[in-house]
Amino acid sequence: MRQEIALLGLFVPTLFVAALVAGVAWFVLDGLALRIGIWRIFWHPPLARLALYVVLFAFAAILAPDF
């Protein structure tokens, strides 16, 4: 993984970009899960939402380009 990525002439850490991608994906999936009602089956819905974000963040960090 690269250490930083140039976005609009500004160098930002790669993990920051992965966090933004994970945040957008989390926002979409959380809204979908809320409409379907999946969060009702969890004992602690905020903890399940955090776990979803952590999984998405790890997935985005693993898929970050290495060039």
23/19 Cα distance (integer angstroms): 6
Query: For residue 2, is pLDDT > 70?
Result: no
The closest alpha carbon to 59, from 2, 26, 28, 18, belongs to 18
Percent of the chain with pLDDT over 90: 63
Domain residue ranges in the chain: 4-62
Does residue 67 carry a pLDDT above 50?
no
Tell me 12's DSSP state.
Answer: E
Residue 56 and residue 24: Cα distance in Å, rounded?
A: 10
Q: What is the pTM of this model?
A: 0.82
> Per-residue pLDDT for 13 more than 60?
yes
**Per-residue pLDDT band at 66 (split at 50, 70, 90):** low
The contacts of residue 56 (CB under 8 Å, 6+ apart) are 22, 25, 26, 29
